[in-house]
Structure formats: structure tokens, C-alpha cells
Amino acid sequence: MSKREGNGCARKRKTESAQKTEECVNKSSPVIEAFKMFQQELDTKHDKYERLVKLSRDITIESKRTIFLLHRVTSVPNVEEVLNEADARLDTVRQKIGHISEELGEEDLYQFHKAFMSGIQEYVEAVSFHHFIRHRTLISLEEINACLVFMRDEKMETKVCGRGMWPGACVLTFQVTPTDYLLGVADLTGELMRMCISSVGNGDVDTPFELSNFLRQIHDGFSYIGNVGPYEVSKKLHTLRQSLSKVEDACYTLRVRGSEIPKHMLADVFSNRAAVLEEDD
Amino acid sequence: MSVTEMFSYIQGFLTADQDIREDIRKVVQTLEQTAREVLTILQSVHQPSGFKDIPSKCLKARELFCTVQTQIGELKTKFPVEQYYRFHEHWRFVLQRLTFLAAFVVYLESESLVTREEVAKILGIEVDREKGFHLDLEDYLAGILIMASELSRLAVNSVTAGDYGRPLRISDFINKLDSGFRLLNLKNDPLRKRYDGLKYDVKKIEEVVYDLSIRGLAKEQEAGGDK
């Protein structure tokens, strides 16, 4: 006790730090022992978090590239080829999501949710865009989740997608939360708007109407949810309105001008209009 | 599944989610109320008169912790146990306060640092996530840090009340705590922010100890205490 007091009265930094190292050396202290355990626990958790963030980044990048690739469907003759290529890319993304669920294991999904949220939303955007181009419908949450079933063995190579579960094998699933799904779909509308404008630019007069119909349905859906949803949803709703009005304007122009201008000249009219619209953005 | 169906499914999910949050909020409010009551009891140790019967204050606080236990028991029933972190932010604050209060009681009783297991026991919860409603490590550490600033206040007030020995013991304790926290690699999160405040508590207590030492007050007390 008296030794401590001697240290306590010296206010100089040096002695203070010396005193602290002395205490660190003193390993028998139960407090230090406890904090060593805490250090380990926290480090493990932080490491896991970082690994998840990295995976999420990779997923985001790859999904964005897939979306870019999918935008080419408006200008290439062979749509199926592009779609298949996108599918292959999405498969690699799904593998990464498999790594996430492997990383999470028994952990609480929501504890690390922030780490991979953005990646998952981007994936939802890509996969729903892909689905729309192929089937012209909105992919459902179950359909997305059904593709996120993985086998734990053989380093995630064997993915069972729509093939049911194998008995005995260790199955890992990843569940996209409804909120992530919702936000991903909200992002999808931006892509649809771009697709609409570019397809008009290519002289395709049917797709814009189809798209505006679809967008309107989604918009109605979002309005139905309103502010029950999380805060981000209401923010996205604003952007969604803008996208919708752009698409509706495009359809309007097509209807009005379409009857006057010969089809082969429409592309010129629209490439000007599209430029104006993009500037508004 | 049509777009409308999909959205009404999501709407259903969101409404259910909101209902759960509403329920949780109600229970957490009662918990906060109890926590305030415990705090009021413990606050009186800062008054000169309160110094004399710290044990009885602790006893009273311990009694209130029984109420806390039943309230947390109620909270547990409000949501599926595996979704702890989904609603974590609702009770994070109050759980930190309760950890602080439990740690403070234990310090006043035995002048030692409460372990995580002890806190969990006092609050009637678990330590491991697997076993149910548990005490998150970061919440425990945050609670300990709140106690550190409370102790620096106690050091000042105990001098006012004429207890010159206590600041020395608090200084010893806080220094141990500080070197413990130094071992942790904290990220740039709320816990780290709170930890940054610890050095001011340490400094404050060292100043008190210094004041006592140059006046020979500490030695006097200690000499008396040792014999």
C-alpha cells in the first residue's frame, strides 16, 4: 500500500507509465487475467467482422459488374447469351454468400448484419434484375433464399440449388432479411429506369411500356408499405418516384410522337431526350 | 407470386416486427424505471451521511435487483431468443446502466471488480450467447467504464466527508482497471469513445491522491488503518 502511495503522489507522466507497466507485468491480478480474456474475445469478434466486410465488398463489386453486363441486353442480338453469362457471375457471388454463412456458422445473423448488409442488397438488386429480364416478373424473397442453400463440405463447391437437400450432409442456408430484400428491390427500380431509357434509344418501343407497368406496380407496393418500414425505405421511395416519372415521361413521348415519326427515326428523338433526362438525375 | 402479393407479405413481416419492438419498448421502460430507483439509492453514498451505512444501501439495492430479474425475465418472453441482436439496441443502454449499478454495488461491498459472470447472475441472465438472453461483452465493459467515472466522483466526495483512505483505494482500483483496458484493441466505436473518457477519471483521482499526499493526510489515515 505504501509503495502505491509513493507512486500516486508523483504526477509526472514517466512514473505514471512506469507504474502501469509494472502492473501489466503483475500477471497474477485477476483483473488483468479477466481483461486478457476480453481482449481475445473482442479480437475474435472484430476479425470476423472484418472478414465479413471484405466478403461484402467482393459481393458488391461482382454484383455491380453483373448489372452492367445485364444492361447490355438492350443492344445485343443474343439476349440468352448475356443472361447465361450473368448467371455464371451470379453463381460466383452466391459462393461468396456461402462463405458468409459459413463464417457466421452458429452466430447470430443480426450481430454482424451491418458488415454484409450492403453486399446482400446489391446481390438482391442484381439477381432481381436478372430475373426480371428473363421472366418479366418480380423475384420473390423465397426464390432468392432458395438459391442460397449451400453444402458445408468440399469447400462450398457443391451448391444445391433447387435440388432439395441431401440427407446426412451439413446444409448451410443464408436468409436474406425482408428489409434487405425491400431495399434491394428499391435499387432495382433505378436499373429498370436506365434500361427503359436505353431500350428506347435502341428503337425498342415495347419494353418501355412493359417497364413502366412493372415500375408502377412496385411503386404501388412501396406506397402500400409507406412508413411502416425502416427509415431507409422512405428515402428510397423518393428516388423511386423520380425514376417512375422519368419512365412515364418516356412512355408519354413514345405514344405522342410515335404516331408522327417513322420508326427508324425514333432512336434519334430519344437519344436526345434521354440525354436531357440523365441530366436531371 | 405477383408484385402485390410480395409486398403485402413484406408488409405483414414489417408490422409483426414493429409489434415486437413495441412490446420490448414497454418492458424496457419499466426496467429503466427500476434502474433509476437503484441509482437513487446508491447516489446517497456521495453524501456525508450516506458514508456511514453503505452496507444497508447495498442491501436495499440488492433487493431492487430482484425486481430487475423479474423484469428481464419478462423481456425474454417478448422475442425469439436467437434474435437477440436484432433488437439489441432497445435494451443496450439500460443493460449498460444495470451493469454499472451491479458493479457499483459489488465495489461498495467488497472493493473488487465485478466479473461478467457475477453481473449476469445479479441480473438473472446468461454469459454465453448459446444459453439464452446474455450480457454482451461490450455492454459489460461499457458498464464498467460508467462505474469508473462514478468512482472518481466518489473519491472527491469521500475526501469532503473526511474519509481519506478511500481515494487511495479507489486510485489503486482504477489504475488496475485502466491497465486492463489498455490490453484491449478497441475499434472506433461507442465503447472506444467511452474508454477515452477513462483517462480523465484516472487523472481526477490522481489529483485527489496528490492533494491528500502533500498534506500528509493520506499517510495519517493509512498509518492509522494499518495498525
Best mutation target among B183, B205, B210, B214 (most A Cβ atoms within 10 Å) is B183
Domain for residue A159, yes or no?
no
Q: Do A42 and B1 touch (CB under 8 A)?
A: no
Domain count, chain A: 2
pLDDT at A273 over 50: yes
The C-alpha atoms of residue B72 and residue A15 are separated, in whole angstroms, by 45
The C-alpha atoms of residue A99 and residue A166 are separated, in whole angstroms, by 19
Indicate whether A137 and A208 sit together in one domain. Answer: no
Q: What pLDDT score was predicted for residue A78?
A: 83
Burial class (CB in 10 A: 0-12, 13-18, 19+), B80: exposed
Single residue among A117, A152, A187 that ends a domain in this structure = A152
Indicate whether B78 and B12 sit together in one domain. Answer: yes
Q: Is the dihedral of CA A264, A261, A241, A210 positive or negative?
A: negative
pLDDT at A252 over 60: yes
Q: What is the mean pLDDT of residues A116-126?
A: 94
Per-residue pLDDT band at A235 (split at 50, 70, 90): confident
Q: What is the mean pLDDT of residues A159-184?
A: 69
Q: What pLDDT score was predicted for residue B227?
A: 36
Domain count, chain B: 2
Average the pLDDT over each of A26-40, A78-92, B208-222 and give the range with the smallest value: B208-222
Domain for residue B140, yes or no?
no
Q: What is the mean pLDDT of residues A150-177?
A: 58
Q: Pseudo-torsion of CA B75, B80, B83, B86, nearest 10°?
A: -50
Of the candidates A81, A70, A278, the one whose C-alpha atom is nearest the C-alpha of residue A188 is A70
Q: What pLDDT score was predicted for residue A28?
A: 65
| Digit-coded pLDDT (tens) for B43-97 | 988 888 777 788 999 999 999 999 999 999 999 999 988 889 999 999 999 999 9
**Residue B118 is labelled as binding a ligand:** no
Q: What is the DSSP string of B100-114?
A: HHHHHHHHHHHSSPP
Residue range of the domain that includes B61: 1-135
Which positions in chain A touch B141 (Cβ < 8 Å)? 38
Half-sphere exposure of A89 (CA within 13 A, CB side): 23
The CA-atom distances, in angstroms, between A146 and each of A53, A265, B55 are 24, 45, 60
| The model's pTM | 0.82
pLDDT at A238 over 60: yes
Residue range of the domain that includes A248: 177-276
Q: What pLDDT score was predicted for residue A254?
A: 84
| Digit-coded pLDDT (tens) for A62-87 | 999 999 999 988 777 788 899 999 99
CB B135 within 8 Å of CB B95: yes
Indicate whether B33 and B100 sit together in one domain. Answer: yes
Residue B116's CATH number: 1.20.58.190
> H/E/C letters for each residue in A9-44?
HCCCHHHHHHHHHHHHHCCCCHHHHHHHHHHHHHHH
Average pLDDT across chain A, whole number:
79
Query: CA of B109, closest CA in chain A: separation in Å?
Result: 17
Q: Is B160 on the interface with A (CB under 8 A)?
A: no
Q: What pLDDT score was predicted for residue A63?
A: 95
Q: Pseudo-torsion of CA B35, B115, B164, B37, nearest 10°?
A: 10
Looking at this protein, which amino acid is placed at residue B189?
D
Pick left, alpha or beta for residue A161 (phi over 0 → left; psi -120 to 50 → alpha; otherwise beta). beta
Indicate whether B104 and B170 sit together in one domain. Answer: no
